Amino acid sequence: MDFLNAVVAFANFVFVPGLAYGAQLAIGALGVTMIYGILRFSNFAHGDTMAFGTAITILFTTAFIGMGITFGPLPTALLALPFGIGATILLLLGTDWAVYKFYREQKASPVILVIVSMGVMFVMNGVVRFIIGVRDIRFADGERFIITAREFREMTGLDEGLAIKTTQAITVVVAFIVMALLFWFLNKTRTGKSMRAFSDNEDLALLSGINPDWVVKVTWMIVAALATTAGVLYGLDKSFKAFTYFQLLLPIFAAAIVGGLGNPLGAIAGGFVIAFSEVTITYAWKKVLVYLMPESLEPDGLVQLLSTDYKFAVSFAILIIVLLFKPTGLFKGQSV
Amino acid sequence: MSTTVRDTALFGLVAVLLIGTGMIQGWNSALLILNMGLISAIMALGVNLQWGFAGLFNIGVMGFVALGGLAAVLVSTEPVPEAWQAGGLRIMAGLVLGALTVVAAVQAQKRLEGRTKTIATLVILVGGFFLYRAVFDPGKVAVEAVNPAVSGNLGGLNLPILLSWPVGGLLAAGAAWVIGKTALGLRSDYLAIATLGIAEIIIAVLKNEDWLARGVKNVIGLDRPVPYEIDLQQDPGFVERAASLGLDPVTASTLYTKMGYAILFTIVLLILLWLAQKALQSPWGRMMRAIRDNETAAEAMGKDVKGRHLQIFILGSAICGIAGAMMTTLDGQLTPGTYQPLRFTFLIWVMVIVGGSGNNFGAVLGGMLIWWLWVQVEPLGLGLMNILSMGLEDGSALKDRMIDSAAHMRLLTMGVVLLLVLRFSPRGLIPER
Cβ-based burial of B129 (10 A; exposed 0-12, middle 13-18, buried ≥19): middle
CA distance B405 to chain A (A): 6
CB-CB contact of B341 with A121 (8 Å)? no
Distant-in-sequence, close-in-space partners of B392: CB < 8 Å, separation ≥ 6: B398, B399, B402
Distant-in-sequence, close-in-space partners of A125: CB < 8 Å, separation ≥ 6: A48, A51, A242, A246, B342, B411, B415
B265 contact A CB<8A: no
Strand partners, B92: none
pLDDT per residue as tens digits for the range B309-351: 999 999 999 999 999 999 999 999 999 989 999 999 999 999 9
- Nearest residue, CB atoms, B422 vs list A116, A247, A250: A116
- Rounded Cα distance, A173 and B184, in Å: 40
Strand partners, A147: A164
Q: Which residues of A touch B353 (CB under 8 A)?
A: 115
A110 contact B CB<8A: yes
Residues B256 and B267 in one domain: yes
pTM flag (> 0.95): no
DSSP notation for B137-202: HHHHHHHHHSSTTT--S-B-----GGGHHHHHHHHHHHHHHHHHHHHTTS-HHHHHHHHHHHHHHH
Query: Which of B127, B154, B181 is the C-terminal boundary of a domain?
Result: B154
- Asked if pLDDT for residue B403 goes beyond 80, the answer is no
Q: Which residues of B touch A249 (CB under 8 A)?
A: 196
Interface touch B193/A122, C-beta < 8 Å: no
What pLDDT is attached to residue A336? 44
Percent of chain B at pLDDT above 90?
59
Interface touch B410/A114, C-beta < 8 Å: no
* A71, A74, A77, A81: CA torsion to nearest 10: -90
Q: What are phi and psi of B226, to 5 degrees?
A: -120, 160
pLDDT per residue as tens digits for the range B106-118: 999 888 888 888 8
- Nearest residue, CB atoms, A114 vs list B192, B342, B414: B192
Mean per-residue pLDDT of chain B: 91
- Rounded Cα distance, A288 and A8, in Å: 9
Strand partners, B15: none
Average pLDDT (A320-332) is 80
Residues B212 and B276 in one domain: yes
pLDDT per residue as tens digits for the range A181-238: 999 999 999 999 999 999 888 889 889 989 999 999 999 999 999 999 999 999 999 8
Assess if residue B431 is contained within a domain.
no
Pick A267 or A329 by higher pLDDT: A267
- Asked if pLDDT for residue B31 goes beyond 90, the answer is yes
- Rounded Cα distance, A271 and A273, in Å: 6
Residue B53 pLDDT class (50, 70, 90 cuts): very high
- Asked if pLDDT for residue B235 goes beyond 90, the answer is no
Q: Which helix (H) or strand (E) holds A20?
A: helix A16-39
Residues B33 and B102 in one domain: no
Average pLDDT (B37-66) is 95
Pick A294 or B217 by higher pLDDT: B217
- Rounded Cα distance, A116 and A101, in Å: 11
ipTM of the complex: 0.90
Residues B73 and B93 in one domain: no
Assess if residue B429 is contained within a domain.
no
- Nearest residue, CB atoms, A312 vs list B190, B204, B422: B204
What pLDDT is attached to residue A153? 86
pLDDT per residue as tens digits for the range B124-159: 999 999 899 889 988 988 888 888 888 888 888 999
Assess if residue B432 is contained within a domain.
no
* B87, B135, B174, B177: CA torsion to nearest 10: -170
Closest CA to A170 of A128, A232, A96, A117: A232
What pLDDT is attached to residue A93? 97
CB-CB contact of B388 with B352 (8 Å)? no
What pLDDT is attached to residue A322? 83
- Rounded Cα distance, A197 and A213, in Å: 14
| Tally of domains within chain B | 2
Average pLDDT (B32-50) is 96
| Alpha helices, H only, B26-163 | 27-48, 61-76, 81-83, 89-111, 114-145
CB-CB contact of B204 with A312 (8 Å)? yes
- A45-59, A166-180, A223-237, B383-397: which has the minimum mean pLDDT? B383-397
Average pLDDT (A315-330) is 81
Pick A155 or B64 by higher pLDDT: B64
Q: Which residues of A touch B52 (CB under 8 A)?
A: none
Residues B12 and B45 in one domain: yes
Look at residue B218 and give its three-state secondary structure. coil
- Rounded Cα distance, B94 and B75, in Å: 21
Residues B387 and B312 in one domain: yes
CB-CB contact of B30 with B14 (8 Å)? no
- Rounded Cα distance, A327 and B166, in Å: 36
- Rounded Cα distance, B97 and A285, in Å: 24
Residue B392 pLDDT class (50, 70, 90 cuts): confident
- Asked if pLDDT for residue A335 goes beyond 60, the answer is no
B350 contact A CB<8A: yes
- Asked if pLDDT for residue A180 goes beyond 90, the answer is yes
DSSP notation for A258-304: HH-TT-HHHHHHHHHHHHHHHHHHHSBTHHHHHHHS-GGG--SS--B
Residues B170 and B195 in one domain: yes
Reported residue count of chain A is: 336
Residues B20 and B89 in one domain: no
Pick A298 or A133 by higher pLDDT: A133
What pLDDT is attached to residue A96? 96
What pLDDT is attached to residue A267? 93
Residues B87 and B198 in one domain: no
Buried/exposed code over B399-422 (b: 16+ C-beta within 10 A; e: otherwise): beebeebbbbbbbbbbbebbbebb
Q: Which helix (H) or strand (E) holds B382?
A: helix B360-388
Interface touch B187/A257, C-beta < 8 Å: no
CB-CB contact of B414 with B349 (8 Å)? no
What pLDDT is attached to residue A296? 67
What pLDDT is attached to residue A324? 77
CB-CB contact of A86 with A270 (8 Å)? no
Buried/exposed code over B15-34 (b: 16+ C-beta within 10 A; e: otherwise): eebbeebbeeeebebbbbbb
Interface touch B342/A257, C-beta < 8 Å: no
What pLDDT is attached to residue B1? 60
HSE toward the beta carbon, residue A46, CA cutoff 13 A: 31
What pLDDT is attached to residue A334? 63
Distant-in-sequence, close-in-space partners of B9: CB < 8 Å, separation ≥ 6: B1
Residues B335 and B402 in one domain: yes
Average pLDDT (A166-190) is 94
- Rounded Cα distance, A235 and A228, in Å: 10
What pLDDT is attached to residue A299? 66
Query: Which of B154, B186, B206 is the C-terminal boundary of a domain?
Result: B154
Percent of chain A at pLDDT above 90?
53
Report the phi/psi class of residue A25: left, alpha or beta, with left for phi > 0 and alpha for psi in -120 to 50: alpha
Average pLDDT (A121-140) is 89
Closest CA to B256 of B270, B272, B235: B235
Residues B263 and B337 in one domain: yes
What pLDDT is attached to residue B16? 96
Between vectors from CA B74 to CA B136 and to CA B60, what angle results, nearest 5°? 85
Assess if residue B245 is contained within a domain.
yes
HSE toward the beta carbon, residue B54, CA cutoff 13 A: 27
Assess if residue B319 is contained within a domain.
yes
- Nearest residue, CB atoms, B422 vs list A115, A121, A319: A115
Percent of chain A at pLDDT above 70?
97
- Asked if pLDDT for residue A297 goes beyond 70, the answer is no
A102 contact B CB<8A: yes
Average pLDDT (A156-175) is 89
- Rounded Cα distance, B350 and B334, in Å: 24
CA distance B417 to chain A (A): 8
What pLDDT is attached to residue B42? 97
- Rounded Cα distance, B356 and B359, in Å: 6
Assess if residue B175 is contained within a domain.
yes
- Provide the residue range defining the domain that includes B144: 80-154
- Asked if pLDDT for residue A301 goes beyond 80, the answer is no
Report the phi/psi class of residue B223: left, alpha or beta, with left for phi > 0 and alpha for psi in -120 to 50: beta
- Rounded Cα distance, B267 and B286, in Å: 27
Q: Which residues of A touch B414 (CB under 8 A)?
A: 122
Cβ-based burial of A105 (10 A; exposed 0-12, middle 13-18, buried ≥19): exposed
Between vectors from CA A302 to CA B336 and to CA A292, what angle results, nearest 5°? 150
Query: Which of B96, B124, B154 is the C-terminal boundary of a domain?
Result: B154
Pick A306 or A215 by higher pLDDT: A215
Residues B201 and B121 in one domain: no
Residue B401 pLDDT class (50, 70, 90 cuts): confident
SS (H, E, C) B404-433: HHHHHHHHHHHHHHHHHHHHHCCCCCCCCC
A105 contact B CB<8A: no
What pLDDT is attached to residue B114? 83
What pLDDT is attached to residue A243? 85
